[in-house]
Structure 1
């Protein structure tokens, strides 16, 4: 057979560029290929025109619902909000000592964290380009602090490589980058790139590879003080008679390739995870609480919707009070903005058109599990010098997230002991009772941090498929479903319009929820004014 041309998919190309060249290079490549763009948010919306006293019923007091309530009331609408829970925020949620919740199956968990410690079981980070969310934080005076996505001193771990010993991210990143640079320098020096790189550019490329890959004068990546400036030293620079540093030995390229640790490097190159990232001081729910200060008087809590009916004059919603479910109640308005997750909405009676109903039924929800673990001391800082960031592993827990605040303090601390998103391990953990999830997180985590077993105090585990108000983490669109149903999901159907992260191109992100809401109410307002 004749040789087939070598083809590289754009996704694979971007991953390779990101892993080797870093996030900036990957972003420029994504922009050139039409993938990346800045937020479409252009600042606070202005709903111009008189709604003439029109009323709107908003279902759900998550960020999408509260955004709609805030902006529609400001525009002159009569607004009421029905919320499933006894709190607002939806998946914008933080768990602290004393908080409790009941998941499907009747399992009740009560958080036992010490004062000042918390877990964000839902969203836990805000990219710098999520401009709408950041703007609302600024308007509401929500204090932000850095979220550390990449900590070079955190770990990459493969259970069947390096004897199960975790490797520092800086080792893997520098050694992979350095040895790939050495290979490319050899190819360049041998004139193998003549057809794609000019002679002048080849000389510049060699200079760049020497700098970028920490190569010596012979374009080799080896144990030296040059490479140690990237990967760290065997003996760090000191003072006095012990001042001189000693170089460290690189991990071989073959070992890195076989370990598969290189695959984690894309987590730092992905556009959504590039620095700078933020988190609210004190917990992600500080954002939800800030919205409540603005629209809390409009919210009826513990209102569990059972039916949504519309006619040519308005929308009637039937619901029950969770504290007194015997007597159904009703609320009516001229229009309805529904932010109920599709996993729930698909089970309710909704007299929308066939296209919208098909779209509601077309989107499954991804599974996710987060487990918070409290330890009696911050051993990851004291013993391992890890301040913030994330360690990645092929163990079922997948990730260990280190707190990005309270650095260098004595006393207890809370780790994100597991973050599973979709996949077989997610469903396996979801099927476990909560206490077993916590126990398994401690068991697996001890393979990376042996201190777990002696320092562990308590934990809490949230499996999103068993959370009653969402039955899943986020809308999990397939390409085919999005092509066939997305527009029908977002279009206004009679007097009903849907909003939420599921009605956006940013599923699972709070920015998607807010942008979806702003788009929905803008179109709704235009229709109201014209009607």
Structure 2
């Protein structure tokens, strides 16, 4: 964490003065602690959405207080510091069209760098270890027709890009597209995917389950990502490779994406209050009162919630949400991502198929070889999505580490005695976010999408889950900007 920011939030001049005179001025200090603080806007959540809302409001002269329940700034934009280098747990890369995120980085002089080159994945499918070169002709490849030419990790994009009915990204909310608000499984099956392809995609898709997640929301995200990128005839193309060859640039934040949100917090005139988990929001016709779990109260004219719905549903809100919005808060689905990071003592992949990265149809799903801080492979990243991640969450950290090592040794004997677990992370284990991302279930979009970002009384909603067109970090940044502008418009 940025040292200046860390000191700013833990050792402020006010806090230092309190520690010096705590004994002699105890009654006065006690009164200050119990008294409520006032601002124009209280923002709950110091992630990308909340911080961008705060910056926009401060620019217009509003007094803002940002409350963060965790002990760091960034929310799901989080960077893990490992002995092998820093790795992003959320906010992996900055896409070519992340205009707001790039503008924020440039204005705050946060350096962006080119990502390391991607590493092709080998495969462990149907009990066989197969290189990417041999996959199309392998007996382990049970897919059919054109599918056989596609690597398992690319089948999802192969089918969804080939069978995307959206003429443009804005049309995903039109009634003419509502027939595609079906499960990803059903859409792929209707598009001709074989049962084996469906089984493989169920492992790679970043949703809780392709049997329940909406295809329409997925198609929207894909259409936005593809904008301006020419179609490729290569069946194994990816968005990353196609955009790069077209001169469009993906970027990373030097030192990790969390450096960006720390810089945003530093740029604020007011502090970000860490460890201020909110338990209640009460609103009248004129103002709001926000109460943290430790009893501290904050008063404001407006509140912006920039936390995931999985966290918002744990806050008591008076008056409460009504009808559709209440259902959205209570019943929205979310996906999880679990990752286990491993060191290796030697290049074991040279002793088998030559691919350091591996797609598997087992419970450990995928293993990415990462280049952190250079072109040399420095660690392995076991990545599990959706319901598979939730199942592995039932294990203790120690048991999970043992399980991953044993599974890798079983499917890839060359790893025996060459791997060591150095860290792990699961978003569902976070008591605050409880998830990696919001996912629309099939059939929800027609009723929910137009209501998910709608202001409630004096409470405004931001966060990636409120997105309409953009995705990823750009969606989060835009949502914070939108919520700020909604307040400005109300006051105008």
TM-score normalised by length of structure 1: 0.62
User: Deviation digits for residues 432-466 of structure 1, max 9, x if unmatched?
Assistant: 11122222222233356544332223322222222
Q: Give unmatched runs, 5+ long, in structure 2.
A: 1-37, 150-193, 205-233
Partner of 2:458: 495
CA distance in 2, matches of 1:297, 1:443: 50
Indicate whether 1:437 and 2:422 are aligned: no
**Aligned to 1:147, which of 115, 125, 131?**
115
SS of alignment partner, residue 343 of structure 1: helix
1:125 to partner: Cα distance? 2.6
**Root mean square deviation of aligned Cα:** 3.7
SS of alignment partner, residue 459 of structure 1: strand
CA contact 1:362–1:481 (8 Å) conserved in 2: no
**Aligned to 1:61, which of 46, 49, 59?**
46
Alignment of 1:428-467 (within 5 A): 428-447=391-410, 449-467=412-430
In structure 2, the CA distance between the partners of 1:129 and 1:445, relative to structure 1 (3 Å rule), is farther
Indicate whether 1:416 and 2:416 are aligned: no
Partner of 1:211: none
**Aligned to 2:333, which of 356, 361, 364?**
364
In structure 2, the CA distance between the partners of 1:464 and 1:270, relative to structure 1 (3 Å rule), is same
Alignment of 1:229-378 (within 5 A): 268-269=237-238, 275=244, 276-295=249-268, 297-320=270-293, 325=294, 328-351=295-318, 352-355=320-323, 356-377=325-346
In structure 2, the CA distance between the partners of 1:119 and 1:446, relative to structure 1 (3 Å rule), is farther
Count the aligned residue pairs: 370
More relative contact order in 1 or in 2 (CA 8 Å, sep 6+)? 2
1:171 to partner: Cα distance? 4.3
SS of alignment partner, residue 450 of structure 2: helix
Alignment of 1:86-165 (within 5 A): 86-96=71-81, 113-114=82-83, 116-147=84-115, 150-152=118-120, 154-160=121-127, 164-165=128-129
CA contact 2:130–2:353 (8 Å) conserved in 1: no
Indicate whether 1:523 and 2:469 are aligned: no
CA distance in 1, matches of 2:148, 2:78: 47
CA distance in 1, matches of 2:255, 2:352: 25
Task: Report the structure number with the largest CA radius of gyration.
Answer: 1
CA contact 1:54–1:334 (8 Å) conserved in 2: yes
Partner of 2:443: 480
TM-score normalised by length of structure 2: 0.66
CA contact 1:343–1:470 (8 Å) conserved in 2: yes
